[in-house]
Amino acid sequence: MLIIRSALLLLFVITASTGYSQSESFNMTPVGPDNLLHKPWDLNLGPDGHLWVTERERGIVVRIDPESGTRDELIQIADHSSTAGQDGLLGLALHPQLLDDQPFVYLSYTHLVDGERNQRIARYQYSNQDGDGSLSDPVIILDSLPSSNDHNSGRLIWGPDDNLYYTIGDQGGNQNRNFCDPILSQVLPSQEEIDEGDWRHYPGKVLRLNPDGSIPEDNPVLGGVRSHIFSYGHRNPQGLVFASNGLLYSDEHGPNTDDEVNLITGGSNYGWPRVVGFQDDQAYDYCNWSSSANCDALDYQNGACPEGLTLLEESSFVDSNYREPLFSMFAVTDDYDYNNPACENAWICRPNVAPSSIAVYESDAIPSWKNSLLVASLKRGRVYRLKLDSQGLTVMGDTTEHFYTPNRYRDIVAHPDGKTFYILTGETGRTSGPSGLTVIRDYQNPSTILKFTLNETVSANDQRMPSPVRVWPNPTTGKITIEWQEQRESAAEAQLFNLHGQVVKTLPELQTGLTQTNIGDLPSGFYILRLQTQEGPWQQTVVIH
């Protein structure tokens, strides 16, 4: 079914935060109108140049023309089920030869067996008649996988080794309404279970499977058993991506802090629930609620551990397969105050950002970005960039923030041209305001795809600038100091812009040396400090708390 949508003529200029060097400017336009999609989950850029999306709750797969916003519904899965916020139609993987002799699309979706959730991976055949596409002839390749109302993960990708990779979360065990359910991320299956097709111990794992759903002969042997399990000890790994050099990266949600970015290697154990982030005994101890003989009578509280429950420090965990994360995002220490009175509520104060997906940037189009990971955030409405070394084995420095809008970011795709980025936004839930201290529920662009395009004219001018300016403190609560480190014959004009491109403050002209100015009269949020000089523009993000 082909449905034509008109595109909104909406344009913003978004500027990236890049420390004290040049910054990049992007034009943002929605692909089609807001609410083009319904509770979307997975975003792929297909070989046909279209954007392929799964709609989690309705079980629909659509193709979107990125230029016109045309919506082409390919299928609505008949036996699909979704009755909670994290089940339903999740991952989508396109065969690399989709438009040639292998027209196959792989989907993961929830269905019911005797009223109980199960997750299924199935292969469909794609056809396209005069622009009206369809998916048909389903073949179930792996069935009866664990499924839950929480932490299903569900990212499905095609690997360079022509195998499928799939993430299964810990099913939300040991927290909230599932607090009496044990976490199985450290539990490995027996040979008898594998022989019988019993996958009950697959939660908290990354799976690797042949295209027909069978177990690859070179999968790791864990606990004496070869299964679909490629790695284990995961919490909620919603992002999964291969770099061109064959390295596999994932991101996963931390409980309150320490969202992880992992380099996934076969047979490795990533520590959950015994370790969160680095094994440093900071801000996390494992309280096992299911260890209580009377768990149902307990009153669950996040961060509490009633007397008599098993409580283990991270340093008590020892496993020869253990691998530390590549990066732990926004880790805090034991004395971190989760009840900051400046925050709208306790949830927004938690340092975790709810990483929903991950992409690799390997283009030369933005030289300073080459060899970076891009982590999309549900909770913060922005993308975090992590710069890698040339081999992709180490994160260099800290995160930088990009593409903030008042939305929940569900998935991100970097176009091969290196100049275009597509971000899928969510429909329900909460995200934070620009300052990170307030909660937003009314999104700017719910359930749509945002297209960010590099403004090459501005970026080229910025890249001629050699980093002449320092700005501190940043973030600030009021005054900032701007230091012009070069000897100058003329002053530079300085202005602050909001994220809608409007000038909100004109600052004193800048000369060589130090200039201090008060910007505390502006509301909390993100602003662009832009200097206009004879050599060209220079700009940087400034945050007011």
Q: What is the DSSP string of 148-196?
A: -SS--EEEEEE-TTS-EEEEE--TTTTSGGGTTSPP-TT----HHHHHT
Q: What is the separation, in whole angstroms, between the first and last Cα of the chain?
A: 48
Q: Are residues 171 and 216 in the same domain?
A: yes
Q: What is the DSSP string of 366-402?
A: SGGGSSEEEEEETTTSSEEEEEB-TTSSSB-S--EEE
CA dist 194 and 525 (Å) reads 52
Percent of the chain with pLDDT over 90: 71
* pLDDT for residue 273 is more than 70: yes
**Of 385-389, 465-469, 509-513, which gets the smallest average pLDDT?**
465-469
Write the CB contacts of 137 (distance below 8 Å, at least 6 apart in sequence): 124, 125
Residue 58 near residue 76 (C-beta atoms within 8 A): yes
What is the residue range of 478's domain? 464-544
CA dist 534 and 545 (Å) reads 32
151-198 tens-digit pLDDT: 999 999 999 999 999 999 999 999 999 999 999 999 999 999 999 999
- CATH code of residue 204: 2.120.10.30
* pLDDT for residue 464 is more than 50: no
Write the CB contacts of 109 (distance below 8 Å, at least 6 apart in sequence): 59, 77, 80, 88, 89, 90, 119, 120, 122
Q: Are residues 358 and 468 in the same domain?
A: no
Q: Are residues 163 and 197 in the same domain?
A: yes
The pLDDT-based confidence of 88 (bands split at 50, 70, 90) is: very high
> What pLDDT shows up at residue 237?
98
CA dist 424 and 151 (Å) reads 19
Domain end call among 399, 422, 457:
457
> What pLDDT shows up at residue 466?
44
**What are the backbone dihedrals phi and psi of residue 474, each rounded to the nearest 5 degrees, phi first?**
-150, 105
Q: Are residues 158 and 234 in the same domain?
A: yes
CA dist 31 and 76 (Å) reads 22
* pLDDT for residue 23 is more than 70: no
CA dist 87 and 110 (Å) reads 6
**What are the backbone dihedrals phi and psi of residue 459, each rounded to the nearest 5 degrees, phi first?**
-65, -40
HSE-up (13 A, CA, CB side) for residue 492: 28
Q: Are residues 440 and 498 in the same domain?
A: no
> pTM of the predicted model, to two decimals?
0.84
CA dist 468 and 21 (Å) reads 8
> What pLDDT shows up at residue 462?
43
**Number of domains the chain is built from:** 2
413-463 tens-digit pLDDT: 999 999 999 999 999 899 998 878 889 989 999 999 999 999 876 554 444
List, in sequence order, every residue forming a beta bridge with 122; answer none if it has no partner. 107, 140
Q: Are residues 411 and 378 in the same domain?
A: yes
Q: Are residues 400 and 514 in the same domain?
A: no
151 is catalytic: yes
Q: Are residues 538 and 429 in the same domain?
A: no
Q: Which residue has the tokens 């490795």?
A: 268
Q: Are residues 528 and 398 in the same domain?
A: no
Give the SS3 label for residue 421. strand
Give the SS3 label for residue 429. coil
Average pLDDT over residues 460-477: 63
Domain end call among 422, 457, 492:
457
**Of 46-55, 237-246, 464-473, which gets the smallest average pLDDT?**
464-473
Please give the structure tokens belonging to residue 431. Answer: 């995200």
- CATH code of residue 527: 2.60.40.3080
Residue 202 near residue 143 (C-beta atoms within 8 A): no
CA 506 to chain centre: 36
CA dist 200 and 119 (Å) reads 11
CA dist 499 and 506 (Å) reads 16
Residue 276: which of 294, 255, 292 has the closest Cα? 255
**What are the backbone dihedrals phi and psi of residue 394, each rounded to the nearest 5 degrees, phi first?**
-140, 140
130-146 tens-digit pLDDT: 889 999 999 999 999 99
> What pLDDT shows up at residue 5?
31
Q: Are residues 27 and 103 in the same domain?
A: yes
Residue type, 255: P
Instruction: Tell me what the pLDDT averaged over the chain comes to.
Output: 90
CA dist 45 and 359 (Å) reads 12
Domain end call among 394, 423, 457:
457
Average pLDDT over residues 95-108: 97
CA 400 to chain centre: 14
Q: Are residues 511 and 430 in the same domain?
A: no
318-362 tens-digit pLDDT: 999 999 999 999 998 898 888 878 888 888 889 999 999 999 999
Please give the structure tokens belonging to residue 186. Answer: 């450290």
Please give the structure tokens belonging to residue 395. Answer: 């994160």
CA dist 402 and 239 (Å) reads 18
Other C-beta atoms lying within 10 Å of the C-beta of residue 139: 12
Write the CB contacts of 502 (distance below 8 Å, at least 6 apart in sequence): none
CA dist 531 and 509 (Å) reads 9
Other C-beta atoms lying within 10 Å of the C-beta of residue 199: 23
* pLDDT for residue 13 is more than 70: no
Average pLDDT over residues 105-127: 97
Please give the structure tokens belonging to residue 286. Answer: 């494992």
Catalytic residue among 151, 201, 228, 234: 151
The pLDDT-based confidence of 21 (bands split at 50, 70, 90) is: very low
Q: Are residues 486 and 402 in the same domain?
A: no
